[in-house]
């Protein structure tokens, strides 16, 4: 048997009282503890009540990579008969993990993705956190976002402690990491492009993920990406909350072969990958701001007393559903806010039920037939 295969029983008998009626179901990938025990899955019919699969045992176990043997922040997307997964393999370092599966029980040998292999020697990253995988219907590949704090940005302003550490009256412990969102792309989950800066609003931010918004019109010009991410600065500086940004569907600009064909789209990717691109992201309703005011967490009207991170954004019918991790709680961390316009949000945290130990996962949808037809692990 493949040593990386995980014997997870996802047959109908394993789902217990779950009674799936529609074609797609909601799945939650998550980790427990420090991420040392593997990736876990839970399923939901309505996106509110999630029940563990595989009797609460992991469906994927950490790789035996020296110093990179965690499975934190698992992100999964389903497309063309395959589940594609990425995860944080350590608190520190320059890599993340990636693997594929046809059924969530048999996994490919994991790939240790090294996106910073050609990065400047004087700007090495301290960490590679929370990769999120997305299918890009415009560029026809998988876009993976993650956050890293690289050496040149430390102490240059906008870092986590934001200058508060210089005030002797505050006695603030310095935290000079300045995280930015990076991107790499892959078509096959074996070959990955090198890291490029993707989003940099000027202050430290982590946990970016996107949802593609097909507006349902005949014209593709109004399609867009909606991104949510965490302001990682100290709360006194306006951080520890989630914010939104939107961008046109061709989020990284026109490929070289296409430039000049569409005068409306002139954005290009800069030659220096360490420099932020001319960002196409703007706050919903305010093109003068790179991202919105807080929508969840301190400074917002939703869970204002909780520090939040690890968001997932989904379009459910005509509503946006924003899941998040209230990471300072010991149990029942997951919350939910919903909106029809990305501007006004309703707190629905009280309606959410997840496995009590679940941490920083990603909610995604997949055909129920994938679970129903999966054979018991051998």
Determine, yes or no, domain membership for 300.
yes
Domain ranges, residue 54 = 12-152+178-372
Neighbours of 29 (CB within 10 A): 26
Distance from C-alpha of 11 to C-alpha of 34, rounded to nearest angstrom: 29
Residue 257 has pLDDT above 60, yes or no: no
- Nearest CA to 296 out of 287, 283, 288, 305 is that of 305
pLDDT at position 259: 34
Neighbours of 57 (CB within 10 A): 16
3-state secondary structure at position 350: helix
Residue 356 has pLDDT above 80, yes or no: yes
- What are 142-198's pLDDT values in tens digits? 999 999 999 999 988 999 999 999 999 999 999 999 999 999 999 999 999 999 999
Average the pLDDT over 348-375 and give the result: 87
Determine, yes or no, domain membership for 160.
no
pLDDT at position 278: 60
Distance from C-alpha of 207 to C-alpha of 179, rounded to nearest angstrom: 10
Concatenating the DSSP letter of every residue in 215-243 gives -SSS-GGG-EEEEEEEE-S-GGGT-SEEE
pLDDT at position 16: 39
What does the block give as tokens for 86? Answer: 């990425």
Distance from C-alpha of 349 to C-alpha of 53, rounded to nearest angstrom: 22
- Nearest CA to 243 out of 179, 178, 311, 177 is that of 311
> What stretches of the chain show up as alpha helix (H) in DSSP?
368-372
CATH of the domain at 58: 2.115.10
Determine, yes or no, domain membership for 168.
no
Asked if residue 109 lies in contact with residue 56, where contact means CB atoms within 8 angstroms, the answer is: no
Q: Report the number of distinct structural domains present in the chain.
A: 1
Burial of 118 (0-12, 13-18, 19+ CB in 10 A): exposed
Q: Report how far apart, in Å, the C-alpha atoms of 364 and of each of 8, 133, 248, 253 are.
A: 19, 11, 22, 27
Average the pLDDT over 89-115 and give the result: 97
Across the beta sheet with 96-101, the strand order is: 72-79, 82-88, 96-101, 111-113
Residue 234 has pLDDT above 60, yes or no: yes
Q: Any long-range contacts for 304-308 (C-beta under 8 Å, 24+ apart)? A: 306/335, 307/235, 307/240, 307/241, 308/230, 308/240, 308/241, 308/242, 308/335
Distance from C-alpha of 156 to C-alpha of 164, rounded to nearest angstrom: 13
pLDDT band at residue 268 under the 50/70/90 scheme: very low
Determine, yes or no, domain membership for 67.
yes
Determine, yes or no, domain membership for 222.
yes
Determine, yes or no, domain membership for 183.
yes
Distance from C-alpha of 159 to C-alpha of 26, rounded to nearest angstrom: 36
Q: Report how far apart, in Å, the C-alpha atoms of 211 and of each of 61, 63, 335, 351 are.
A: 28, 29, 18, 23
Average the pLDDT over 30-44 and give the result: 97
Distance from C-alpha of 8 to C-alpha of 370, rounded to nearest angstrom: 13
Tokens 């990955």 sit on residue: 192
What does the block give as tokens for 169? Answer: 């009256």
Distance from C-alpha of 374 to C-alpha of 354, rounded to nearest angstrom: 23
For residue 112, which phi and psi values (nearest 5 degrees)? -90, 100
Average pLDDT of the chain, as a whole number: 88
Determine, yes or no, domain membership for 172.
no
Determine, yes or no, domain membership for 173.
no
CA-angle at 177, arms to 162 and 236, nearest 5° = 30
3-state secondary structure at position 368: helix
3-state secondary structure at position 366: strand
Tell me which DSSP letter residue 30 carries: E
What does the block give as tokens for 314? Answer: 């989904």
Distance from C-alpha of 284 to C-alpha of 228, rounded to nearest angstrom: 11
pLDDT band at residue 275 under the 50/70/90 scheme: low
- What are 202-226's pLDDT values in tens digits? 999 999 999 999 987 777 778 999 9
Average the pLDDT over 231-250 and give the result: 97
What does the block give as tokens for 271? Answer: 């030659």
Distance from C-alpha of 158 to C-alpha of 177, rounded to nearest angstrom: 9
């Amino acid at each position: 048997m493949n040593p990386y295969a995980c014997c997870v029983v996802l047959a109908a008998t394993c789902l217990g009282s779950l009674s799936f009626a529609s074609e797609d179901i909601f799945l939650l990938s998550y980790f427990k503890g420090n991420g040392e025990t593997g990736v876990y899955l839970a399923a939901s019919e309505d996106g509110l009540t999630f029940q563990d699969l595989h009797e609460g045992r992991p469906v994927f176990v950490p790789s035996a990579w020296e110093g990179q043997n965690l499975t934190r922040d698992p992100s999964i997307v389903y497309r063309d008969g395959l589940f594609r997964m990425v995860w944080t393999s350590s608190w520190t370092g320059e890599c993340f993990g990636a693997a594929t599966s046809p059924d969530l029980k048999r996994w490919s040998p994991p790939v240790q993705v090294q996106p910073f292999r050609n990065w400047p020697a004087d700007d090495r990253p301290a960490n590679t956190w929370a990769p999120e995988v997305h299918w890009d219907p415009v560029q026809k590949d998988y876009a993976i976002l993650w956050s890293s704090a690289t050496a040149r940005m430390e102490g240059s302003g906008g870092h986590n402690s934001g200058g508060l550490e210089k005030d002797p009256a505050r006695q603030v412990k310095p935290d000079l990491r300045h995280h930015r969102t990076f991107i790499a792309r892959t078509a096959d989950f074996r070959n990955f492009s090198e890291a490029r800066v993707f989003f940099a609003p000027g202050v430290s931010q982590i946990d970016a993920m996107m949802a593609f918004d097909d507006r349902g019109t005949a014209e593709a010009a109004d399609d867009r990406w909606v991104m949510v991410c965490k302001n990682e600065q100290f709360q006194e500086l306006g951080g520890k909350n989630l914010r939104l940004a939107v961008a046109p569907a061709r989020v990284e600009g026109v490929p070289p072969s296409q430039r000049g064909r569409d005068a409306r789209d002139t954005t290009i990717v800069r030659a220096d990958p360490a420099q932020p691109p001319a960002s196409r992201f703007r706050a919903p309703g305010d093109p003068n701001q790179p991202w919105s005011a807080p929508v969840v967490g301190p400074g917002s009207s939703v869970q204002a007393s909780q520090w939040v991170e690890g968001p997932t954004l989904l379009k459910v019918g005509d509503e946006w559903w924003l899941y998040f991790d209230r990471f300072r709680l010991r149990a029942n961390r997951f919350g939910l806010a919903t909106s029809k316009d990305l501007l006004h949000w309703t707190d629905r945290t009280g309606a959410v039920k997840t496995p009590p130990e679940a941490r920083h996962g990603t909610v995604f949808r997949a055909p129920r037939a994938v679970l129903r037809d999966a054979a018991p692990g051998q």
